Amino acid sequence: MNLEKVIFGFFIIFACTLNFGFFIGDMRQVELHHPMELFAAVVVNLIATVLKFGDRTQLGATHLATSLVASFQLVAASLVWVWQLYVIGEPMNGDVISTVVSLSGGALIANLFSVTLLMGETLRQGR
């Protein structure tokens, strides 16, 4: 068993599941989307992105691209949240949380692509 691949796979799948956990729920209900879950998704996505820098293959480049997309969208979602609470100084409302959740949904699609690539790579190596 290759420990590097285990860690790599763990962070890719963990990033996807954290993002899904934040994304799920009514888009307009603020209480269903906890800010610490978004923060955890951002941190784990950034770790997964850093882990992908070492791979010099075409598949590695695609993994990195999907991870960069997810990280950018989650950071953008966090910035919208921070802007609303700390710059404008108003509480989260349905319109703002729907923007945050939409950005998280885009990141979720990128995470799903990354998990699909990981599964395809794993099945191909098994043969």
Each residue of 60-93: pLDDT tens digit? Answer: 899 999 999 999 999 999 999 999 999 999 999 9
- At 88-101, the pLDDT tens digits run 999 999 999 999 99
pTM above 0.95, yes or no: no
Residue (of 93, 103, 125, 99) closest to 19 by Cα position: 103
Radius of gyration for the chain, computed over Cα atoms and rounded to the nearest angstrom: 16
